[in-house]
C-alpha cells in the first residue's frame, strides 16, 4: 500500500518556492531553488514538498489558481533570463511594486527573445505551444481578457465573452494577438525553468512532491471554458459552493466558495477532465498530495448565499469510479491522500482501496487519549508524517501556546527530551514508522510566532513567509544528516 517512490524510508522538507530567498518580492525557480535542492541532498533528505504552482489571484493563495495547468509567472527567475541573454541586468529600487516589476521584465524578455532567439530556441517555443495547446490557447485568451477588463472575473465580462460565443472569441483572438503571444512566452519560460529544476533535483536523488487542490477557483479558465462540468446557472453563478463544516481550524467551518462539480457529467466523459489534470501533475512531480481527499467520498455543499459553512450538507461523490478510471489510465498512482478533518470509514476505505498513503500530523496528537491516531505509536507505515502543515502555526509557537498541562503531556510522551522545541517533535516525526517524514522549513529553522504560512479562515497576511540563508544554523546540515541516518531515512 505504498507508492513506488516511497518504497524506501525518506525525509523531506515542506517549502513553497515563493518562500525561498532571492528574487524580487518572492522566491522563484532560480539559483536559490537549486541551492535548496543541494541543501536537501547534503542532509540526506530526499523529498521537497511544495504547495500548488498555479497563477494566483490577488490574495496569493496557491489553492485558488487561475488555471489548473499553467505555472505562476511570479515564479519565473528573472536572473535566469539574464543568464540566457533574453534580458538585460537590472537592480530594482527597494520601493518597487514586485508584481508590476516582474511582469514588466517578462515583457522585456519576450521582446528580446523574439529578436535574438536562436533557431533551436524558436523551435522549442513552437513545440511547447503545440504540445500544450489543449489548455494553453484558452488560458492565454483568458489572461488577455482579464487584463483588458482590469482583473474582472469571467462571469462579469460582457455576455458574448462570458458565454464564449464563437464570433466574439474569434474577434478577440485577433485583437489581442500580442497579449496572447506573451502569455505563451511566460508559460514556455516557466516550463523550461521548472524542468531544469526537476532535472537538477533528480540528478541529486531529490523527489519533488506537489499538491493538488480538489476544487477549482470560480474565476478560473477551467470553469470559464468547461462550465458543463460545474454546478452553475446560465449567468455562471453557483447555487451551492464548497467548504468544510466546523472543525479544528474554525468554529464556523470554512466557506471556500468554489463551485461544485457535476460529477455525473464528468463520469459520462470517462473522467477525461481529471485525467488531463493528473497528466499535468505527474509531468511536474514525482509524488502529489491530493488536498481534501475526503471530498472524493462526499462534499460539503453550502448555499452560496450563506457567509459561513455552518448550514452545509454532505453530498456523495463517485470517488471510487474516478480513482478506478485514473488507475486504469496511469497504472500506479503516486498520490498521497490528505485525509484530515471529519473522516468516515467510507473515506478510509476509498483511500485504502487505491493504496494511497494518508497523513499524520503531530500537532494534532495531544488533544485526547492514547488512542489518538496522530500519536506516533498509532501511525501507519503507509503514511506521511508531519510536525505541522502549511495551515498550522510553527511547532514552537504551537507548543508555547499550549496550556501547561498539555505541554506536560507532550514532554512526557516524548520522554522528557533535553532538546529545545521543536527538535523533539522533529525527532518523533523522523522516528515514526511512517514511510515519509516531512518537516516544514519553519520547524527546521526552529522559528516561533509570526512565521506561519497560512491561517485558515483569515484572508489577509497569508502566503508571504520567506526565509534567508543566514537563518540556517552552522550545524544544521550535520544535525539533519545524523537524524536522517539514525532513523533510516538517508
CB 456 within 8 A of CB 249: yes
- Distances 255 to 39, 304, 310, 389 between C-alpha atoms, Å: 38, 9, 9, 20
Give yes or no: 391 in active site.
yes
Say which of 338, 339, 360, 393 is annotated catalytic. 338
Q: Tell me which of 137, 148, 346, 391 is the catalytic residue.
A: 391
- Pairing status of strand 240-244 against strand 298-303: antiparallel
The cell numbers describing 172, all together, are: 478577440
> Which member of 138, 291, 339, 360 is catalytic?
291
Q: Are residues 140 and 73 in contact, defined by beta-carbon separation less than 8 angstroms? A: no
Among this protein's residues, is 338 annotated catalytic? yes
Q: Exposure of 424 by Cβ count < 10 A (0-12 exposed, 13-18 middle, 19+ buried)?
A: buried
Q: How far apart are CA 360 and CA 372, in angstroms?
A: 11
CA–CA dist 483, 377 (Å, integer): 19
Q: Which three cell numbers stand for residue 443?
A: 520547524
- Tell me which residues are annotated as active site: 291, 338, 391
Amino acid at each position: 500500500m505504498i507508492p513506488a517512490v516511497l518504497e524506501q524510508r525518506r525525509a523531506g522538507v515542506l517549502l513553497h518556492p515563493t518562500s525561498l530567498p532571492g528574487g524580487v518580492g518572492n522566491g522563484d525557480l532560480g539559483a536559490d531553488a537549486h541551492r535548496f535542492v543541494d541543501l536537501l541532498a547534503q542532509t540526506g533528505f530526499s523529498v521537497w514538498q511544495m504547495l500548488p504552482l498555479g497563477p494566483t489571484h490577488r490574495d496569493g493563495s496557491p489553492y485558488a489558481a487561475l488555471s489548473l495547468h499553467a505555472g505562476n509567472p511570479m515564479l519565473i527567475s528573472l536572473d535566469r533570463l539574464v543568464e540566457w541573454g533574453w534580458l538585460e541586468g537590472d537592480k530594482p529600487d527597494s520601493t518597487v511594486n514586485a508584481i508590476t516589476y516582474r511582469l514588466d521584465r517578462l515583457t522585456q524578455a519576450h521582446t528580446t527573445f523574439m529578436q535574438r532567439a536562436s533557431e533551436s530556441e524558436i523551435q522549442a517555443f513552437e513545440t511547447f505551444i503545440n504540445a500544450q495547446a489543449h489548455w494553453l490557447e484558452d488560458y492565454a485568451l483568458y489572461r488577455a481578457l482579464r487584463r483588458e477588463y482590469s482583473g474582472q472575473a469571467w462571469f462579469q465580462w460582457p455576455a458574448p465573452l462570458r458565454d464564449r460565443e464563437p464570433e466574439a472569441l474569434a474577434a478577440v483572438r485577433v485583437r489581442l494577438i500580442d497579449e496572447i503571444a506573451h502569455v505563451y512566452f511566460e508559460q514556455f519560460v516557466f516550463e523550461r525553468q521548472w524542468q531544469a529544476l526537476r532535472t537538477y533535483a533528480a540528478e541529486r536523488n531529490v523527489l519533488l512532491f506537489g499538491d493538488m487542490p480538489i476544487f477549482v477557483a470560480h474565476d478560473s479558465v477551467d470553469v470559464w471554458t468547461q462550465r458543463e462540468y460545474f454546478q452553475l446557472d446560465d449567468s455562471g453563478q453557483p447555487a451551492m459552493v464548497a467548504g468544510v463544516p466546523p472543525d479544528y481550524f474554525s468554529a464556523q467551518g470554512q466557506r471556500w466558495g468554489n463551485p461544485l462539480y457535476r460529477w455525473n457529467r464528468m463520469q459520462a466523459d470517462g473522467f477525461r477532465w481529471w485525467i488531463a489534470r493528473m497528466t499535468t501533475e505527474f509531468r511536474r512531480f514525482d509524488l502529489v498530495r491530493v488536498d481534501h481527499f475526503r471530498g472524493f467520498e462526499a462534499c460539503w455543499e453550502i448555499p452560496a448565499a450563506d457567509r459561513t459553512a455552518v448550514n452545509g450538507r454532505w453530498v456523495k461523490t463517485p470517488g471510487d469510479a474516478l480513482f478506478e478510471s485514473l488507475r486504469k489510465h496511469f497504472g500506479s498512482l503516486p498520490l498521497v491522500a490528505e485525509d484530515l478533518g471529519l473522516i468516515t470509514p467510507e473515506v478510509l476505505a476509498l483511500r485504502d482501496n487505491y493504496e494511497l498513503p494518508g497523513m499524520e500530523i503531530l500537532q494534532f496528537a495531544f488533544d485526547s487519549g492514547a488512542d489518538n491516531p496522530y500519536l506516533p505509536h498509532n501511525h501507519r507505515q503507509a503514511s506521511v508524517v508531519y510536525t505541522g502543515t502549511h495551515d498550522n502555526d510553527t511547532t514552537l509557537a504551537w507548543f508555547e501556546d499550549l496550556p501547561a498541562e498539555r505541554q506536560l503531556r507532550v514532554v512526557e510522551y516524548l520522554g522528557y527530551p533535553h532538546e529545545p522545541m521543536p527538535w523533539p517533535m522533529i525527532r518523533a516525526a523522523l522516528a515514526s514508522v511512517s514511510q515519509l517524514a516531512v518537516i516544514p522549513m519553519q520547524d527546521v529553522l526552529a522559528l516561533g510566532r509570526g512565521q506561519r504560512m497560512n491561517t485558515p479562515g483569515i484572508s489577509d497576511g497569508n502566503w508571504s513567509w520567506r526565509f534567508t540563508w543566514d537563518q540556517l544554523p552552522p550545524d544544521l546540515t550535520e544535525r539533519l544528516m545524523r537524524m536522517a541516518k539514525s532513523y533510516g531515512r538517508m
